[in-house]
Amino acid sequence: MHKASCVLRSSLYIFNRTNVIFEKIFSMKKIISIALLIIVSLAVFSCRKRTITLPINGTSPEITFTVPTVPIPGDFAMQEVSLPNMLDSVVTSSGIPMDNFQSITLNSADMVIDTPATANFDPFDEMSIWLRTTSSDSTKVFDATNIPHTGLRTITSQGNGTNFLPYAKSPQLMVKARVVTSSPIPQAMTIKLKIHFTVTAQKII
C-alpha cells in the first residue's frame, strides 16, 4: 500500500512538472509570436510611403513693360507681353513634378521703373496687372491703388487670391498692365515686373 502511494505521488509530481514545462514553452512561443508580429508591423510601417503637403515659395523671371509718352491723363493699357515660365525653377529645386501641384497663390508683385533714371510713379494713380490664356478672358491679379505722388520708383501690390494653377498649365500665357494717370507722362519709360508666389504641392516621402 505504501509503495503504491509513493508511485502515485511520483506520477503526480512528474505530471505537474510536465505541465509547468509545457506552460512555459507555450508562454515563450506566445511571447516570440507577439515580438515577431511587432517587428513585422514596424517594418511594414517604416517602408510605407507617406504623402505630405508643403508650401514652396518662388519668384517669376523679370517681365518688362514699355510705357509710352502720354500727353493727356487717362486710363490706358500697355501692350501685352508673354509671361515666361515661372515654375521650371520650382520643379527643379523641389524635385516635385508639376502634376503634384495643388494650387499656386500669387502673393505680391514688385513694379520697378527701370528707365529713364529721372522717371517715377508720380503720374500714376493706379496700376493693375492682368493675365489671360489663349482660351480665357483677362483676369485682374494685382491692383495697386492710391499710388502716392512722392517720387517712388518702386511699388508693390498684394495679390487678390487668384489660383494661378489653371493658367500655369496653359501652353501660352499673356500679361498686361493697365494704368490710370492724373498727369501727363512726358517721356517713355520701362517698368520691370516680378511676381512672388507660393506653390502648394504634394510630396511622397
Give tens-digit pLDDT for 49-98.
677 888 899 998 899 999 999 999 999 998 899 887 788 888 888 888 88
User: What would you report as the CA-atom Rg of the chain, rounded to the nearest whole angstrom?
Assistant: 37
Q: What is the pTM of this model?
A: 0.72
For 140-173, the pLDDT digits (tens) are 999 999 999 999 999 999 998 888 888 887 878 8
Backbone angles phi, psi at 151, to 5 degrees: 80, 20
Instruction: Quote the CA–CA distance of 8 and 65 in Å, as a whole number.
Output: 109
Instruction: Quote the CA–CA distance of 148 and 145 in Å, as a whole number.
Output: 9
